[in-house]
Structure 1
C-alpha cells in the first residue's frame, strides 16, 4: 500500500477496498478520512508534505476512522456523533455543517451534507477542480443501508439535492469502488433506490458481519439493506 497521485496536490491511499485522501493547499493539508487498517495516516502524510495536516471525516463508520486517534482535532458534521466514539477524551470535534467552506489556502472545499447512509454523511466539493469527495453514498460498489441509522428515503433526498451542483462536479471520488465516477451515476442511484423502496427489485441474500442482509442490484451499484 502506498500513496497514489490524482494530481499534483491530491493523493489517495488505497488499503484494498477502502481508501482515504490527502488534499494540499497553500497553507494546510487535509486528510479526508483515515482508513481502516491504517493507524498511522498522519505519519504517512509526511511522505508527501511538510504542511500542517487536519482531519475531516465524511462519516464515522469503522472503515473511515482507523487513524483518528493520531489527531487532537477532527472535523465532522455533528449529526455523526451518534456514530462516533472519541478515541481519546481530549480529542476536540470541530463542527462542519452543510454549506461551510474549509479553506486550505487557495483551495476551498464546500461541505455538502448527504444524510442517509449515516446521519452525518458529508461530502466535500473542491471548488477549483470540481472533485467531489463523497464518502460512501455515491459509488459503483456496495452501499451499506442496513442496521441502525441508515435511511433510504433520506438518502434519496440527499442525492436529489446534488442536482444544483451538477455543473460544478467534474468527477466523484468515493472511498470505495471505481475512482473516479461520473456525475451521471447520481440519477441512476436515485432511480435504483426508488425501485428498492417500491419493491420492484427482487433481492438476493448475503451475510455481512454475521447478519443476513438483502442485496439489491440496481445496475450501477448494489444496496445492502435489512
Structure 2
C-alpha cells in the first residue's frame, strides 16, 4: 500500500509510514459486499394501518372466544326443556321455552308481574300433572308420573301459517318471524317405569328467534 500522507510505498500491514512517520488510516472499500445476514430490517407501519391490523385481530379473537359462548338451542333441546317443565312442575323452565319478548308480554298482562306469573304457571302445571295422574289410575303419586316424547315429523310452516302467527305477534308488539316450523310429536304417559297411555300426533309450532328455537305458545298440550 502507499502512505496516505507522503504517497511512498510501504508494507500492507504498516500502522505508521517508515518515511514520514504518519499514522496510516485504513481505507474503506465502499464497493466491498456488506454482510446483512445478521442485520434485521425494521419495517415501519403507518399508524392508520396499525389500527386496521389491530381491528382485524380483535374481530378474529371475538369470533374465536365469544362465538362459542353463544350457544344455539335446537328444536330437540327446546322440547326436552318443555317436557322437563311439565314433569318437574317448573314454570321457570316453561318460560325458557318461549321467546323473551313473548314472556315479557305475558308477564306485563299479569297484575302481579313475574312472581305472580310464575305462581300461576306452577299452579297450571300442578293441575296438568294431577290430570295425568288421574289417567294413570290409582296407586301412584305425582312423582311417579312423567311424560316422554318422540318427534314424528318436522316441516316448514306455510306462508299462510306464518302470516297468521305474525298477525298475533303484531298484536302483542312482537317483531315478526320468518323461520317457523310445525313439529309433530307422540307422547307417552309413564307411571314409574310403566307406560300407561300414548298420545299421538301432538302438533307444536316453533319459531327461531336469534339463535334459539322457541315455542310460539307454551300451552300446546294443555288439553290432554
Tell me, yes or no, whether TM beats 0.5: no
Larger Rg: 2
State the TM bucket, normalised to the shorter chain.
under 0.3
- Select the structure with the greater relative contact order (CA < 8 A; seq sep ≥ 6): 2
* TM-score with structure 2 setting the length: 0.21
